[in-house]
A and B are shown apart, each in its own frame.
Chain A
Amino acid sequence: AQSVAQPEDQVNVAEGNPLTVKCTYSVSGNPYLFWYVQYPNRGLQFLLKYITGDNLVKGSYGFEAEFNKSQTSFHLKKPSALVSDSALYFCAVRGMNRDDKIIFGKGTRLHILP
Chain B
Amino acid sequence: GAGVSQSPSNKVTEKGKDVELRCDPISGHTALYWYRQSLGQGLEFLIYFQGNSAPDKSGLPSDRFSAERTGGSVSTLTIQRTQQEDSAVYLCASSLGLKNIQYFGAGTRLSVL
Name which residue of chain B comes closest to A100, CB basis.
B98
Chain B residues at the A interface, C-beta cutoff of 8 Å: 4, 33, 35, 41-43, 45, 48, 56, 91, 93, 98-99, 101-107
Query: Which secondary structure characterizes the binding site on chain A?
Result: loop
Q: A90-B42, A90-B43, A107-B42 are in contact. Are A101 and B101 (CB under 8 A)?
A: no
A87 to B107 Cα, complex, angstroms: 17
Residues of A within 8 A of B101 (CB): 34, 46, 49
A90 to B41 Cα, complex, angstroms: 11
Residues of B within 8 A of A34 (CB): 101-102
Is there contact, CB below 8 Å, between A42 and B98?
Answer: no
Q: A43-B104, A45-B104, A104-B35 are in contact. Are A51 and B42 (CB under 8 A)?
A: no
Interface presence of A22 (CB below 8 A): no
Q: How far is the CB of B19 from chain A (nearest CB, A)?
A: 20
Q: How far is the CB of A65 from chain B (nearest CB, A)?
A: 14
- Chain A interface size, as a band, is 20 to 34
Q: Which among A44, A45, A102 is the interface contact of B91 at CB below 8 angstroms?
A: A44
Known: A46-B103, A98-B98, A99-B56. 9 other contacts (CB 8 A): A34-B101, A43-B106, A44-B102, A96-B99, A101-B33, A102-B98, A102-B102, A104-B45, A105-B42
Is there contact, CB below 8 Å, between B43 and A43?
Answer: no
Q: How far is the CB of B36 from chain A (nearest CB, A)?
A: 11
A81 to B6 Cα, complex, angstroms: 32
Residues of B within 8 A of A45 (CB): 104
